[in-house]
Homo-oligomer: A and B are copies of this chain.
């Protein structure tokens, strides 16, 4: 008998009919296995709570997390009741009942400890545990929430401490695709992917899994599967790269328009100037991504281009202008209409010519590259936002991902 952790998001439990559908999926798995189900709130409920918080302008962390975590009570109770009605011995459990202990970082809490002995006791008494995702309890006894992707994190953390055989993340897509099917209809569902590839995809625009849960799964070498709660098909397995028999040179193409470009020019070209600029930004927690630095000929006309997330642009500008006398730049220009396009693949490490193919494909489509950044398994370029679709399509074809 195996232990399977299954996580269902808000759209999978949006109403009674959808929850009954989830019960069917769980029932099938519970025939031969012990099962732990992790649920989100019904889609829309957590947003309603966020609206309340905005309406009363609440800055109260304990109260806000009590609101944000209130919807899961309903979904876990309903699923567990439906399962018990089917004679599948089941129990609904809130974060504090296990308990899932977190730090005090309300709204974005980190799991510190999960009581495995109590979880195992519950597993001895019941065939299915239905656990509220996204929530924990701090050492003072107040409810905390885990932030974005929190239910995925709960599922992966519980799968890790219980040594589960698999952690299935059910969602409204059939798996991880070679690129966004809305942009490239020929996009193909990937059957197996390395953790590192999934991490790069998540951080470069593919929204299937939050990087945090992938990191946690990788750390614990846990087999993850992303699959659909609607169609009845195998999804994408995310596994240790040692278990990937054939490593794709390029597994996927991702894109993100959540980038803003900042160019500061007329900087004195002296040693330590970029350390100074990025030190100032780092002190204020600005996430700088791609950096291009042009060394000047005359020693006074250097310029630096870099990207920050859209929502940090105004703050970054403000910081730089407040430090004008330290940096001594002449002009500061910004551009929000840029996109980051990334190609990702484990096989890239041992294969040359991948970057060259990317640059050539873009050049053939008359797309100018504004900045480049690379890792061992990823190449990202910054381009004008209006070329996003044509870049993604042509790269997807160039690397033969339509096959």
Contacts and interface: CB of A to CB of B under 8 A. Distances in A.
Interface of A: 16, 20, 49, 52-53, 55-60, 62-64, 66-67, 69-70, 73-74, 76-78, 80-82, 84-85, 91-92, 94, 96-97, 141-142
24 contacts: A16-B55, A20-B56, A49-B74, A53-B81, A56-B81, A56-B82, A58-B78, A58-B81, A58-B82, A58-B85, A60-B84, A60-B85, A62-B80, A63-B80, A63-B84, A63-B92, A64-B81, A66-B73, A67-B74, A67-B77, A69-B73, A70-B77, A73-B73, A96-B96
A64 to B, nearest CB: 7
Contacts of A82: 56, 58
A104 to B, nearest CB: 15
A168 B171 CA distance: 48
Give the interface SS of chain A, mostly helix, strand, loop or mixed.
Answer: helix
Given A67-B78, A78-B67, A57 B85 contact: yes
Given A16-B52, A52-B16, A77 B85 contact: no
A66 B70 CA distance: 11
Contact of A67 (B64, B73, B84, B96): B73
Contacts of A97: 141-142
B77 A66 contact: yes
B67 A80 contact: no
A69 B141 CA distance: 19
Nearest to A67: B77
A77 B65 CA distance: 9
A77 B145 CA distance: 14
A186 B63 CA distance: 45
Nearest to A132: B66
Contacts of A60: 80-81, 84-85
Given A16-B56, A49-B74, A70-B74, A81 B63 contact: yes
Contacts of A20: 56
Contact of A73 (B57, B59, B70, B84): B70
A81 B58 CA distance: 6
A129 to B, nearest CB: 13
A20 B56 CA distance: 9
B92 A77 contact: no
Contacts of A49: 74
B77 A64 contact: yes
A91 B69 CA distance: 16
A52 B73 contact: no
Contacts of A70: 70, 73-74, 77
A67 to B, nearest CB: 5
A77 B63 contact: yes
A96 B141 CA distance: 10
Nearest to A65: B77
Nearest to A71: B70
Given A20-B56, A49-B74, 10 more contacts: A53-B81, A56-B82, A58-B84, A63-B78, A66-B73, A66-B92, A67-B78, A70-B70, A73-B73, A97-B141
